[in-house]
Amino acid sequence: MAPFAFLFIFFQCLFSATSSTSPQPPLAPALYVFGDSLLDSGNNNILPTIAKVNYLPYGANFPRGHTGRFTNGKTLADFVAEFLGLPYSPPCLSVNNSVPLTGLNYASGGCGILPETGRQLGKCLSLEEQFGLFEKTVKSKLPSHFNNPEKLADYLSKSIVAVSIGSNDYLSNYFDTELSYTSKRFGPEPFAQLLVDSLSRQLERLYNIGVRKAITFEIGPLGCIPWITRNHKQNGTCVEEKNQLVQYFNNRLPAMLKNLTTTLKGSNFVLGHAYWLVYDAAINPSEYGITDARNPCCSAWLNGTTLCIPKSKPCPNVDEHCFWDGYHLTEAMYSLVASRCINDESVCIPLNLKDLVNF
């Protein structure tokens, strides 16, 4: 058995054992999730967009089948929920009446930090819209569950927030230099600063709503995904020119998040430093038990560069693949990132998730 396949099975057993023993109180009262298709758990199923994956082989390895998750099984947020002892945060658009106190998922595939990102695919929820829906939840839905505002504030301060967004701002707005007006208007570093400044304002809005513990993940190595590598000539495994553009954004995140933590009393804005881990798995796959770090596991449209073809048969050894389709990681890769974020400080810094919960 490949070493990473063993590691993946180990964490599956760990999470399963935790949930099957006598009920333990959750480590946090709720998990609220924001972002794009890396974390979307089904919101796009309800929106008028072509960015939908509510069909097999998506969800082929997920207990509930094809829920709208853009992978074969669990997302990073699902593994975080399992560690916290919480149910998976349901898509916010599917909850009409009483909201669960264990959290909601507001992520929307195709969208980004900028409000215009993803509009060519149809309707999606930009980060500003996601936070607006969350604010509405906090002000209109949650108060009925608490006796007084102080208890609601305490609940929000102990809840965990996960944010992963920005990939589509590059994929949709910047990488295509011939069609993108944005890339003609902004150089690489000013564009990265534009995104970081906008993200900072939105995260401060989260704080004003009541959030105190948030993990914001970097953009992954987009130069390594099949959509990029199969459409561009490159000397190595990845198109490093594209990775460098993303790194202009990632390199600005630490200072921005540290500034928020310093200036906003009682807050902890943690960096999900995941770029290097996914990049290393793509460059040195054998060290992670990966046998294929270039090709999508599913049969995807346009020579394996986009989404999976409906009802197509995925590869038999999905846990040894880095990429599920032309854009997204496999469940096994999300498990790897989650385990490092939870247990050590090489991914989630300066606090891992265990420490953040107890802070």
Catalytic residues, by residue number, are 37, 325, 328
SS3 of 21, please? Answer: coil
Strands 160-164 and 213-217: parallel
Q: How far is 345 from 13, CA to CA, in rounded Å?
A: 23
Q: How far is 25 from 17, CA to CA, in rounded Å?
A: 15
Are 250 and 231 a contacting pair, CB within 8 Å? no
Q: Which residues of 111-149 are buried (b: 16+ CB within 10 A; e: fewer)?
A: bbbbeebbeebebbbbbbebbebbeebbeeebeeeeeee
Q: Which residues of 157-185 are buried (b: 16+ CB within 10 A; e: fewer)?
A: eebbbbbbbbbbbbbbbbbeeeeeebbee
Strands 160-164 and 31-35: parallel
Are 250 and 242 a contacting pair, CB within 8 Å? no
- Name 358's Cβ contacts closer than 8 Å, sequence gap at least 6: none
Q: How far is 197 from 173, CA to CA, in rounded Å?
A: 17
Looking at the DSSP assignment, which residues form a beta bridge with residue 215? 162, 270
- Which amino acid makes up residue 69? R
Q: What are phi and psi of 200, to 5 degrees?
A: -60, -45
